[in-house]
A and B are shown apart, each in its own frame.
Chain A
Amino acid sequence: MSYLEAQGRGGLLSWLSSTDHKRIALLYLFLLVPLFWVAVSLGFAMRLKHLFAGDFLMSAQTYNALFTVHGVIMIFMFVIPGLPAVFGNFFLPILIGARDVSFPRLNLLSWYFFAAGAALALLSLFTGRGAPDTGWTFYVPFSLRTGTNVPLAVSAAFVLGLSSILTGLNFITTTHRMRAPGMTWHRMPLFVWALYATGWIQVLVTPIIGITLVLVILERLFGIGVFDPAKGGDPLLYQHLFWIYSHPAVYIMIVPAMGAVTEILPTFARRTIFGYRAIAYSSIAIAALGSIVWAHHMFTSGMSDLAGVIFSLFTFLVAVPSAIKVFNWTATLYKGSIDMQPPMLFALAFVFLFCIGGLTGIIQGALGLNIHLHDTYWIVGHFHYVMFGGTGFAFFAALLYWFPKMFGRMVEPKPVFIAWGLMFAGFNLLYGAFLLLGGMGMPRRYYAHLPQFHPGHLAATVGSWLLVAGLLVLFGSLLRALRSGRRAEDDPWGGKTLEWRIPSPPPAENFAEVPVIDAAPYAYNPGRRS
Chain B
Amino acid sequence: MPFLAQASSASARIDSVFLWVFAVCLAFLLLISFFLVYFSVRYRRSRNPEPEDIEGNAWLETVWTLVPLALFLAMFYYGWTDFQYLRNPPKDALLVQVIARQWAWSFKYPNGKQSDQLYAALGRPMKLETRTLDVIHGFFVPAFRVKIDVVPGRRNTVWFTPTLLGDFDIQCTVICGVNHSAMLSKVRVVSEAEFKEWYFSDEAAPRVPAAAAPAAGKEPPIVGLLRGKSCLACHSLDGSPMVGPTFKGLYGSRQTLLIDGERRSAVMDGALLRKAISRPGSVQVLGYPPIMPPAKLSDEEMEDIVAYLRSL
Q: Which residues of A contact B (CB under 8 A)?
A: 59-61, 64, 128-130, 133-135, 139, 141-142, 145-148, 228-230, 234-236, 269-272, 274-278, 300-302, 305, 308-309, 312-313, 316-317, 319-320, 323-324, 326-328, 330-331, 333-340, 348, 351-352, 355-356, 359-360, 362-363, 365-372, 374-376, 436, 439-441, 443-450, 452, 522-526, 528-530
B1-21 contact mask (Cβ, 8 Å, vs A): 1 or 0: 111100000000110011001
Q: Select which of A145, A272, A328, A340 is within 8 A of B293 by beta carbon.
A: A145
Counting from the closest, the 10 A-B pairs by CB-CB distance are A368-B82, A229-B153, A441-B142, A366-B79, A129-B290, A61-B289, A367-B83, A333-B39, A446-B181, A302-B156
B207 sits at the interface (CB 8 A): no
B193 sits at the interface (CB 8 A): no
The reply to whether A275 and B61 contact each other, CB–CB distance below 8 Å, is yes
Query: Contacts of A301 on B, CB cut-off 8 Å?
Result: 149, 151, 156
The reply to whether A316 and B73 contact each other, CB–CB distance below 8 Å, is yes
Query: Contacts of B26 on A, CB cut-off 8 Å?
Result: 359
Q: How far is the CA of A365 from the CA of B17 in the complex (A)?
A: 12
B81 sits at the interface (CB 8 A): yes
The reply to whether B147 and A275 contact each other, CB–CB distance below 8 Å, is no
**Nearest Cβ on chain B to A289's Cβ, whole angstroms:** 12
The chain B residue sitting closest to A526, CB to CB, is: B53
Query: Contacts of B178 on A, CB cut-off 8 Å?
Result: 60-61, 64, 133
The chain B residue sitting closest to A450, CB to CB, is: B169
**Nearest Cβ on chain B to A139's Cβ, whole angstroms:** 6
B281 sits at the interface (CB 8 A): yes
Query: Contacts of A327 on B, CB cut-off 8 Å?
Result: 32, 60, 64
Known A352-B36, A440-B3; contact A59-B289, beta-carbon cutoff 8 A = yes
Q: Select which of A135, A320, A331, A440 is within 8 A of B72 by beta carbon.
A: A320
Known A330-B35, A441-B142; contact A336-B51, beta-carbon cutoff 8 A = yes
Q: Select which of B4, B82, B175 is within 8 A of A440 by beta carbon.
A: B4
The chain A residue sitting closest to B79, CB to CB, is: A366
The reply to whether A369 and B54 contact each other, CB–CB distance below 8 Å, is no
Q: Select which of A335, A337, A443 is within 8 A of B171 by beta carbon.
A: A443
The chain A residue sitting closest to B157, CB to CB, is: A302
The reply to whether B177 and A316 contact each other, CB–CB distance below 8 Å, is no
Q: Select which of B50, B56, B69, B147 is within 8 A of A276 by beta carbon.
A: B56
B285-312 contact mask (Cβ, 8 Å, vs A): 1 or 0: 0000111111000000000000000000
The chain A residue sitting closest to B44, CB to CB, is: A338
17 CB contacts below 8 A, A to B, read A146-B291, A147-B281, A229-B154, A269-B51, A272-B54, A308-B83, A320-B72, A334-B54, A335-B52, A336-B52, A351-B36, A366-B75, A371-B86, A374-B173, A376-B173, A441-B143, A448-B181
The reply to whether A375 and B61 contact each other, CB–CB distance below 8 Å, is no
Query: Contacts of A235 on B, CB cut-off 8 Å?
Result: 136, 151-153
The reply to whether B142 and A319 contact each other, CB–CB distance below 8 Å, is no
Known A441-B1, A446-B180; contact A145-B134, beta-carbon cutoff 8 A = yes
Interface size class of B (residues with CB under 8 A): 35 or more
The reply to whether B153 and A234 contact each other, CB–CB distance below 8 Å, is yes
Q: How far is the CA of A370 from the CA of B172 in the complex (A)?
A: 16
The chain B residue sitting closest to A523, CB to CB, is: B53
B140 sits at the interface (CB 8 A): yes
The reply to whether A148 and B153 contact each other, CB–CB distance below 8 Å, is no
B87 sits at the interface (CB 8 A): yes
Query: Contacts of A446 on B, CB cut-off 8 Å?
Result: 171, 180-181
Query: Contacts of A146 on B, CB cut-off 8 Å?
Result: 177, 291, 293
**Nearest Cβ on chain B to A332's Cβ, whole angstroms:** 9
B162 sits at the interface (CB 8 A): no
The chain A residue sitting closest to B64, CB to CB, is: A327
Known A129-B290, A305-B83, A369-B18; contact A439-B52, beta-carbon cutoff 8 A = no
Q: How far is the CA of A328 from the CA of B64 in the complex (A)?
A: 9
B265 sits at the interface (CB 8 A): no
The reply to whether B61 and A278 contact each other, CB–CB distance below 8 Å, is yes
The chain B residue sitting closest to A339, CB to CB, is: B45
**Given A366-B78, A369-B17, 5 additional A-B pairs, CB 8 A:** A236-B154, A274-B55, A319-B68, A338-B40, A340-B44
The reply to whether B48 and A336 contact each other, CB–CB distance below 8 Å, is yes
Q: How far is the CA of A278 from the CA of B48 in the complex (A)?
A: 27
The reply to whether B56 and A369 contact each other, CB–CB distance below 8 Å, is no
Q: Select which of A275, A309, A319, A368 is within 8 A of B86 by beta carbon.
A: A368
The reply to whether A359 and B181 contact each other, CB–CB distance below 8 Å, is no
Query: Contacts of A234 on B, CB cut-off 8 Å?
Result: 153
Query: Contacts of B83 on A, CB cut-off 8 Å?
Result: 305, 308-309, 312, 367-368, 371
Query: Contacts of A133 on B, CB cut-off 8 Å?
Result: 175, 177-178, 289, 291
> Which of B72, B79, B86, B179 has the most chain A CB atoms closer than 10 A to its own CB?
B79
**Nearest Cβ on chain A to B183's Cβ, whole angstroms:** 10
Query: Contacts of A376 on B, CB cut-off 8 Å?
Result: 173
The chain B residue sitting closest to A230, CB to CB, is: B153
The chain B residue sitting closest to A65, CB to CB, is: B289
Query: Contacts of A145 on B, CB cut-off 8 Å?
Result: 134-135, 293
Q: How far is the CA of A365 from the CA of B51 in the complex (A)?
A: 40
The reply to whether B79 and A312 contact each other, CB–CB distance below 8 Å, is yes
Q: How far is the CA of A128 from the CA of B45 in the complex (A)?
A: 59
B284 sits at the interface (CB 8 A): yes
